[in-house]
Structure 1
Amino acid sequence: MLLLRRVHALTRFCSVNTQRNQVAPAVTLCAVRLWSSSSSDDQRSYRSAHSLRWRRALAGLLAGAGAVVAYGLHHHKAVQADTTRVQTIENTSNLPIFSQEEVTKHRSLEDGVWVTYRGSVYDITEFVALHPGGNKILLAAGGALEPFWALYAVHNQEHVLEILSEYKVGELKAEDLKKQQAVTSSDPYSSDPERHPLLHTNSLKPFNAEPPAEILSDSYITPSAFFFKRNHFPVPQVDPASYQLHVEGLSGGSLTLSLEELKTRFPKHTITATLQCAGNRRSEMHKAKQVKGLNWGIGAISTATWSGAKLRDVLLAAGYGSDVAQWARHVQFEGLDKDVTGAAYGGSIPLNKAVGEDGDVLLAYEMNGEALPADHGFPVRVVVPGVVGARSVKWLGKIIVSAEESSSHWQQNDYKGFSPGTDWDTVDHKSAPAIQELPVQSAITTPADGAVVDRSVEEVTVKGYAWSGGGREVVRVDVSLDGGKTWQVAQLRGSEHSPPLGRAWAWKLWEITAPLPPEAQELEIVCKAVDNSYNVQPDTFLPIWNLRGLLSNAWHRVKVKIAEDASED
């Protein structure tokens, strides 16, 4: 019966081909063979219990039925209705209650693979081997399915919900589901929001984490749950009803806005923009020569749609008109997140970026169509497209129009680049300008370093991302399979419309499928990006090394082994 249950799950799950709207022949054949090899007694028993559902599933497979349902509001409501119906059936049984902590313990095949969905707990250990998407399903182990199903919308169908219901083992504790635990503690981080266990944590307090590289290129827009987290202090608890944003300066007016006033007094604008931490890929520079800082991999970069009021419009309303440039040079930002002394995180950007019509700086209150999550600046943050993420101050409390840069530590003594010959004994922080626009960047998201490719497949598919600061558009990504001796051009994937010149705020995803070299036992895959100013990444790290490991953008390299076809043995 276990075999038949797996056949049933496999046939229904795989009846949808996510790329071409038709059945996958190999999966169909596999399901039929499994069914044929099972005993006739098992077949009769299974048909008796699941006759209608089996006939529908098998007929759908053989007929090539199934389509990817559009991922939109109408579909979301339909799926929600389906889920309610499934849950109503499931909840008739008296199943145990589990805490999120208990669920999180089940994150491997050895310990069992548990996931949650809409308040229910599922043990999907048996299904992992059958998952058409391979072991990528393990990325959700111990956590919620919702962020993954936002990324892979094909799951939002009734037959998938029915498969999931077969693996239900319990319910999630109400307080975990609602995420409203009243934690009383002297720990200033005790009220931080919950995070998805998928994230690779670089520090817990403050929380800094990145998604696994392999999912970065699966979606042009990064789901909020997987967007990299960069915090310097505890996440502040802000009441949106009493929130106020203060705008001030030495010459000109002042303005105080509530969240509602920010939303209603100013036109709402939406941009798609990539944010990247200055320390992205620091771990690679650290391998070349020791640096100080969080050990970021290639995941301290993500892309989202941001909506809010233009900073330019708010400054004009506060009285900072066309004559502001006569005395001001910078716009400073202060967050509501503070250290133990009460000093707030802060940063600043040049005035021309803040007030320019093409600067597109937002006071954002939405991310990916929803209110900003707590980790990303709720209720309001600055989004400065094309500029290092450190200037996109979260939990924004104050805007200051000034002749001077921000005096904060992160503007004056951090996020600056220095010569490779500068060390901690000789560094003069005043000698270098604060980082604003970032250099051209790219990285390989799949295959991973150390992966194994089967020679019988005869080819390898390489995927990744590429981005450049200052609104410069990536126009080419070169990929090499032999360490940089020969090169091929990858196919770029971006937004539907070409951005205006100088306003390419979002990354390009790229992909290439190339034949395996016939004699190679190992591949050294390399990528490098070129932007429309013909800036290109340097080939090695030592010439760009700096004591803080910032601006790490040398060629990205991964090594892949080639395994001989087992059938030839």
Structure 2
Amino acid sequence: MLPLRGPTNYDREPPRHPSLTVNSKEPFNAEPPPCTLVASFVTPEEIFYKRNHGPIPVLEDPSEYRLEVGGLVSKPLSLSLEKIRMLPKHTVVATLQCAGNRRTQMSETKHVKGVGWGVAALGNGIWSGVCLYDILELAGITQGTTATLNGGKHVEFVSVDVCKEENGGPYKASVPLLQATTPSADILLAYEMNGKELNRDHGYPLRVVVPGVIGARSVKWLRGIYVTADECQGFFMQRDYKMFPPSIDWHNVDWSSRRPLMDFPVQCAICTPKEGAVHALGSMVTIQGYALSGGGRGIERVDVSIDGGKTWLEAKRYQKQRGDLYSSDTDNDCEKWAWVLWEITVQIYPPVDIIAKAVDSSANTQPEKVKSIWNLRGVLNNSWHCVQVQAENAKDALRNL
């Protein structure tokens, strides 16, 4: 029996936090209440969103685990956990976000296929492990390599989980070789999350963390790394997680006409107050949320409107990042890969529409309407986020008309 294997049923699922909103039970997909996200710069692992395509794999004997490194490399490897942990340890503060985050809102415009997610299909973690480029260097590939002598141009990550979309095969994804061998890309093979050993839900014993890229490329329960001539041909690279215009639907989609999604766009959402919250006329309300952008682009500012988008105020950022787990001597600038938590306290006169939008360091902005970016898989919904706040009673509402 393999020491790490993907079960074919859900009899050995790990326990989960009761506060999670379960969007799919089998496979288990869940997100926390949005208000919990802004309570801490680092998202606790128990409420960090869970995204799965099959039963959670089981490691029967850690001492027998081996990571296979092969394909178009000059020195194939078979590494134990002990050997991996002997390599230089690096730490990266990075936000992982499911490409389907905020899909439910997109589906309200026009139905899409996929797990329904609110605004909390993301989390910010402190990931520790070995750099991918260190592993590739052991296999004979130097830093900054665009192609190997024998034609390798991509690095494929293969899991052990069982996915129906892969006809019972494992989940897999890839990144370009140049990205994999560039130190500033900060791609990790992580064995720790938030200063603790990875738990089963988040990829124990070893997972990939690709900062700034949709979560679908950060493969969990890693079994193998293979250098290949072509990008991964698996389902989740070739027939899913691609962006199409609103004119394309399931009757006319051509999956080969689009590239696999990688960097996520600038994103922003309100976490509190919640939709439908009730406040008295003239009350002071603190609005909080998150903002982030992919590809290593930081957040320049967050704009908030309390009158449906007629006028805007700039929110202030707060990180709450100092403490036992995070310090300034981590290997990367937290602004590069992590989210920004923001807040603003304003006086409101409900009923009102509170809107938030962000601008990243490359001056990328969010589209106003979700309709303009609707796509058949409901991915990358980064339209302006709006929360409706109601008056404390009907008389207040009438008085405000």
TM-score > 0.5 by shorter chain: yes
Structure-2 separation of matches of 1:385 and 1:547: 26
Contact 1:473–1:502 (CA<8 Å) still a contact in 2? no
Partner of 2:399: none
Determine the C-alpha separation between the residues in 1 that align with 2:146 and 2:71.
10
- Aligned residue number for residue 250 of structure 1: 72
**Structure 1 residue aligned with 2:175, among 349, 355, 376?**
349
2:93/2:332 contact within 8 Å kept? no
Q: Structure 1 residue 565: deviation in Å?
A: 12
Q: Of residues 337, 340, 347 in structure 2, which corresponds to 1:505?
A: 337
Q: How does 1:391-470 map onto structure 2 within 5 Å?
A: 391-455=217-281, 458-470=283-295
Could you list the per-position Cα deviations for residues 74-102 of structure 1 after superposition, in whole angstroms to 9, with x for gaps in the alignment?
xxxxxxxxxxxxxxxxxxxxxxxxxxxxx
**Matched residue of 1:464: which SS?**
strand
Give 1:112-191 correspondences, 5 Å limit: 188-191=9-12
Contact 2:303–2:315 (Cα < 8 Å) also in 1: yes
1:205 is matched by which residue type in structure 2? E
User: Cα gap change, 1:244/1:211 in structure 2, threshold over 3 Å: closer, same or farther?
Assistant: same
In structure 2, the CA distance between the partners of 1:334 and 1:500, relative to structure 1 (3 Å rule), is: closer
Distance (whole Å) between structure 2 residues aligned to residue 332 and residue 207 of structure 1: 25
| Structure 2, unpaired ranges of 5+ | 1-6, 323-327, 396-401
2:70 counterpart letter in structure 1: E
CA distance in 2, matches of 1:521, 1:295: 29
TM-score using structure 2 length: 0.90
- Tell me the distance in 2 between the aligned counterparts of 1:535 and 1:280: 19
Which of 138, 149, 154 lines up with 1:330 in the alignment? Answer: 154
Does residue 534 (structure 1) correspond to residue 363 (structure 2)? The answer is: yes
Given that residues 154 and 175 in structure 2 are in contact (C-alpha distance below 8 angstroms), is that contact kept between their aligned partners in structure 1? Answer: yes
RMSD: 2.1
Q: Which of 29, 33, 36 is matched with 1:215 structurally?
A: 36
Aligned partner of 1:514 in structure 2 is 346
CA distance in 2, matches of 1:299, 1:484: 23
Cα deviation for residue 526 of structure 1 reads 0.2
Residue 226 (structure 1) aligns with: 47
Residue among 260, 272, 278 paired with 2:82? 260
Verify the 8 A CA contact 2:354 2:389 in the aligned structure 1: yes
- 1:387-443 deviations in Å (ceiling 9; x for gaps): 000000000000011111111100110000001100101000010000000000010
Aligned counterpart in structure 2 of residue 240 of structure 1, from 48, 54, 62: 62
Contact kept, 8 Å, 1:455 with 1:565, in 2: the verdict is no
Shift of 1:339: 3.3
User: Deviation digits for residues 13-49 of structure 1, max 9, x if unmatched?
Assistant: xxxxxxxxxxxxxxxxxxxxxxxxxxxxxxxxxxxxx
Q: CA deviation at 1:240?
A: 1.6
**Counterpart selection for 2:130 from 309, 312, 330:** 309
Query: Partner letter of residue 104 of structure 2?
Result: S
CA contact (8 A) 2:101 2:381 kept: yes
Judged with a 3 Å threshold, the aligned counterparts in structure 2 of structure 1 residues 559 and 187 are, in CA distance, closer, same or farther, namely same
Aligned residue pairs: how many?
Answer: 377
User: Structure 2 CA distance, aligned partners of 1:384 and 1:298?
Assistant: 21
Question: CA shift at 1:300, angstroms?
Answer: 0.3
Query: Alpha-carbon deviation of 1:477?
Result: 0.3
3-state SS, counterpart of residue 230 of structure 1: coil
**1:477 is the counterpart of 2:302:** yes
TM-score, structure 1 as length reference: 0.64
Higher relative contact order (CA 8 A, sep 6+): 2
Counterparts of 1:373 and 1:502 in 2: how far apart (Å)? Answer: 23
Q: 1:328 Cα deviation (Å)?
A: 2.4
Please point out which of 370, 377, 385 is paired with 2:211.
Answer: 385
CA drift of 1:563 comes to 2.1
CA distance in 2, matches of 1:240, 1:368: 21
Q: Partners in 2 of 1:396 and 1:324 — Cα distance?
A: 23
How far apart are residue 253 of structure 1 and its match? Answer: 1.7
1:277 aligns with 2:98: yes
> Which is helix-richer, 1 or 2?
1
Letter in 1 for 2:33: P
Give deviations 1:36-64, integer Å, cap 9, x for gaps.
xxxxxxxxxxxxxxxxxxxxxxxxxxxxx
Residue of 103, 109, 121 corresponding to 1:300: 121
Structure 1: which amino acid aligns with 2:122?
I
Contact 2:73–2:140 (CA<8 Å) still a contact in 1?
no
Deviation track 1:468-489 (CA, whole Å, cap 9, x = no partner) reads: 0001001100000011110000
Taking a change above 3 Å as real, the CA distance of residues 428 and 187 of structure 1, as seen in their structure-2 partners, is closer
- Kept in 2, the 8 Å contact 1:279–1:551? The answer is yes
Deviation of 1:321 (Å): 2.1
What letter corresponds to residue 156 of structure 2 in structure 1? Q
The CA deviation at 1:290 is: 1.0
- Where in structure 1 are there 5+ consecutive unaligned residues? 1-185
C-alpha deviations, 1:326-349, integer Å up to 9, x for none? 432211000011236541100011
Counterpart residue type for residue 372 of structure 1 = L
- CA offset digits 1:332-369 (Å, max 9, x no partner): 00001123654110001111211101010000000011
Displacement, 1:562? Answer: 2.5
- Residue of structure 2 equivalent to 1:369: 195
Aligned equivalents of 1:405, 1:299: Cα separation in 2: 30
Residue 307 (structure 1) shift? 0.3
Judge conservation of contact 2:368–2:384 (CA < 8 Å) in 1: yes
| Contact 2:92 2:332 survives alignment (8 Å) | no
Q: 1:292 to 1:243 in 2, by over 3 A?
A: same
In 2, are the aligned partners of 1:346 and 1:410 still within 8 Å (CA)?
yes
Cα distance between partner residues in 1 of 2:8 and 2:128: 33
SS class of match (1:333): strand
